[in-house]
Structure formats: structure tokens, C-alpha cells
Amino acid sequence: MAPDLRVRLGSTELPNPVLTASGCASSGRELAQFIDVSKIGAVVTKSVMLAPRAGRPTPRMAETNSGMLNSIGLQGPGIDAFLQRDLPWLLSRGARAVVSIAGSTVDEYAELATRLSDAAGVTALEVNISCPNVEHRGQVFACDPVDAGAVIEAVRARARHDLPVFAKLSPDVTDIVQIARSCVSAGADGLSMINTLLGMVIDTETMRPVLAGLTGGLSGPAIRPIAVRCIWQVRAALPDVPIIGMGGVMTGRDALELILAGASMVSVGTAIFHDPSACARIARELDEELARRGVKRVSEIVGAAHEARAAASQGRVARMERT
């Protein structure tokens, strides 16, 4: 029998746990040329801000071994255009929309939460807190437990009660569990991890940094072990909090690895640049991986790596049942 890939996100049932990662699928429209966006778990949209934003100068990217750096600077049209154009399009295609929001002050995040709660059809909010806090000398919200908590508290207070709020964590911190706890205490319904890691590439011909913005976020399979470690640590500390895992997922096997570490859902980012049909392919491959192991429901194996012996024997039982 085919494994059951369905997962719940708040009050919405997703057909499978494979989502796009914010900033790697825009608002889904371009991907729809390659895959049916209604058949993947959800489209997590590019982080939207209140006002239009031009982003950082080019060059904005550099390829690295099994990864890439990006410094887009949250270019986007702002919440008005998003609500007018992008959200209705996603909903018209039958896709589930997880909307990522970003701001420079706590109030901006709160305002975005209000605007998106008034709009019908949003499945969940993902709060990108890897942004500089202009009221705290540009300190990144995600790197400070108090600031991170303040954003989540404000968003939770303004978001419609049935709209799940996920805090997206940065791995560039000493203790990710501390930030996770702070966000959950502030009311986060779930956690997304990981955002990119800050990196730099220098062109040895020009002897200058490649990116115009000097530093950029590292993503892709190069960071997957870090994602697995972060998910593992947070799952161990907060076993009841749902996690959207991401970081270097290229295949169904990789998605399974993050699920075993504790993710209930998996976002796919950089892999989309390599293969625009990656999300659909990974959902299919995950299905095969689970079937091969005799797993009946994906929800059964979330965090299973924490109980290594139990999982192994369960797998054996399941296989025996099949034969």
C-alpha cells in the first residue's frame, strides 16, 4: 500500500510534507510552468515586507562547492502588491500558501500579520526573523532571544487565532535551542529551520569579494548536516513543537533525513534552481523511500532517529507485516 504522506499544518491538511523554501519559488507562478503547485505540500512565498524593496546591488550570487551564496536583500513589491496579485493567483491554482513575512521593526511584523489575517486563504505565516532590527543597532532578530521573542509575540497577538505562526530560525547563533524556546514561549506554533549561514567568497583574480554586498547566505547540500543538527537539537528540547525543516534537501532521501531528525515538513530551496521540478520529484522520491521501508504514514517517523532502537525494530516489524 502506498504510504500516507498527508500532514496537518494548523487546520489545513497538506497532501504531502514537501514545501518550497521562502525566496526560492517567488510566489509560485514561475514554478507552475514546471509542476502542478496544488500537488505539493505548500508554496512558502518569498518574504514579503510592508513596502516595496529594491534589494542589494549585483552580483547577488556566487556558486560554491555543493552550495551557493546569495545576497538578494529581500527584493519584493511589498504587501499591497502581494495581496492584490500573488496571493489570489496561488489560491486560484488550488495551492496552499504559507506566507513568509519580514520587517525591520517589531511593528512592521505586527502590521503584516494583521494584513495577512484579514486576507482569506493563508495557510500559515512563516516569520523570517533573520533581518536586522533597526531599533536595536541592526542586530539580527534571530540572533537575540529577546528580540526574536518580541517579534513572535507581536505577530501571534495580531494574527488570526487559527492561523499558525512559524518562527524561522537562523543557524548563525551559539545556542539555537535558546532562541527556539524563546519563540515558543512567545507563542510560536511551530519552528522553521534553517535559514542560510553567512558566508563570503573572494575572487582570486580580481582579489575582491564576489558579492556586491560582500557577504551572503550559504545554502544547498553543503549546509545539510548543519540543518540536521539544528533540527535534532530543537526536537530533543521541544519534542511537541512542529518543525518545518530545510537546508540542502536535493532528494527524497535528504527529506527523509530531516524528518528522522524531527521535521514534520520539509522545504526545498536551492534544489529548485538546479531542478525546477524538484519539489514534485522529492515528494515522489519520499513516497518511494517510505514504501521501501514499509512505513505506512510519514507522521510515524518524525523524529524517529531520536529513538534509534525503537525505529529500527518498528521498521523490521513493518517489513514482516508486508511479507
C-alpha cell at 202: 573572494
Minimum CB–partner distance for residue 303 and other proteins (Å) = 27
Minimum CB–partner distance for residue 80 and other proteins (Å) = 11
Instruction: Using CB under 6 A, count the residues that bind ligand FMN.
Output: 26
- Choose one: 11-19, 134-142, 157-165, 263-271; the region binding ligand FMN (CB under 6 A): 263-271
Residue (72 or 159) nearer to other proteins, CB: 72
DSSP strands (E only) in 129-203: 132-133, 139-140, 165-168, 190-193, 197-199, 202-203
Neighbours of 270 (CB within 10 A): 26
Q: Rounded to an integer, what distance in angstroms lies between the CA atom of residue 207 and that of residue 116? A: 45
Residue 83 carries which DSSP code?
A: I
- CA–CA distance from 91 to each of 36, 87, 97, 241, 278 (Å)? 13, 6, 7, 27, 21
Q: Which of 104, 105, 123, 128 binds ligand FMN (CB under 6 A)?
A: 128
Q: Which of 152, 186, 246, 256 binds ligand FMN (CB under 6 A)?
A: 246
252 binds ligand FMN (CB under 6 A): no
Residues that bind other proteins (CB under 8 A): 23-26, 30-36, 46, 51-61, 63, 65-68, 70, 72, 75-78, 212, 220-221, 270-277, 280-281
261 binds ligand FMN (CB under 6 A): no
Minimum CB–partner distance for residue 307 and ligand FMN (Å) = 26
**Contact in structure between 313 and 320 (CB atoms under 8 Å):** no
Select from other proteins, ligand FMN, none the partner in contact with residue 89, using the beta carbon and a kind-dependent cut-off of 5 to 8 Å. none
C-alpha cell at 288: 518511494
Please report, as residue ranges, which positions from 86 to 125 form the binding site for ligand FMN (by CB under 6 A): 100
> Which of 304, 286, 167, 176 minimizes the C-alpha distance to 229?
176
Annotated active-site positions, please? 131
Give the pairing of strands 208-209 and 265-268.
Answer: unpaired
Please report, as residue ranges, which positions from 171 to 190 form the binding site for ligand FMN (by CB under 6 A): none
Minimum CB–partner distance for residue 38 and ligand FMN (Å) = 21
- CA–CA distance from 154 to each of 108, 113, 118 (Å)? 10, 9, 16
In this structure, the dihedral spanned by the alpha carbons of residues 276, 280, 282 and 288, taken in order and rounded to 10 degrees, is -150
Neighbours of 320 (CB within 10 A): 9
The residues that bridge with 267 in the sheet, in sequence order, are 19, 246
Please report, as residue ranges, which positions from 143 to 162 form the binding site for ligand FMN (by CB under 6 A): none
Residue (4 or 275) nearer to other proteins, CB: 275
Q: Which of 195, 243, 245, 298 binds ligand FMN (CB under 6 A)?
A: 195
What string marks each residue from 48 to 77 as x (binds ligand FMN by CB under 6 A) or -?
----------------------x-x-x---
Residue (98 or 110) nearer to ligand FMN, CB: 98
Q: Rounded to an integer, what distance in angstroms lies between the CA atom of residue 5 and that of residue 259? A: 12
Q: Which of 104, 105, 123, 196 binds ligand FMN (CB under 6 A)?
A: 196
Which residues of the shown chain bind ligand FMN in the complex (CB under 6 A)? 21-24, 46-47, 70, 72, 74, 100, 128, 168, 195-196, 217, 219-220, 223, 246-249, 268-271
